[in-house]
Amino acid sequence: DVKVTQSSRYLVKRTGEKVFLECVQDMDHENMFWYRQDPGLGLRLIYFSYDVKMKEKGDIPEGYSVSREKKERFSLILESASTNQTSMYLCASNPSPPLQKQYFGPGTRLTVT
């Protein structure tokens, strides 16, 4: 079974802190994604990566950066957390397109106070 794990289920940070969210997948998938999920807005893509050290901006990259130094690990970084980044963050991975069966982690609920 494919497994996608996220470093924390719940996280509370203060405004201005630097925040790291880590995601690890164990199925040698090329593509990895970070989404945020907010009520009524569905999933919004922040960044994705299709290879080591490769990254592409999604729909809402402002305020975020990512790092993919190893194929199995994709990190999301909030350089200076703000209250409007309070959200559920979901990581996903899938093998190369065209069939993109995405496997999701359990999510990290981040609260910025």
Partner 1 sequence: GEDVEQSLFLSVREGDSSVINCTYTDSSSTYLYWYKQEPGAGLQLLTYIFSNMDMKQDQRLTVLLNKKDKHLSLRIADTQTGDSAIYFCAESSGDSSASKIIFGSGTRLSIRP
Write out the residues near partner 1 by the rule CB under 8 A: 4, 30-31, 33, 40-43, 45, 48, 50-51, 56, 58, 90, 92, 96-107
Compute the least distance from the CB of residue 52 to partner 1, in Å.
12
| Least distance from partner 1 to the Cβ atom of residue 92, Å | 8
CB of 18 to partner 1, least distance (A): 25
Which lies closer to partner 1 via its Cβ, residue 82 or residue 99? 99
Taking the least distance from each CB to partner 1, the nearer of 34 and 78 is: 34
Q: How far is the CB of 38 from partner 1 (least distance, A)?
A: 10
Backbone angles phi, psi at 23, to 5 degrees: -135, 135
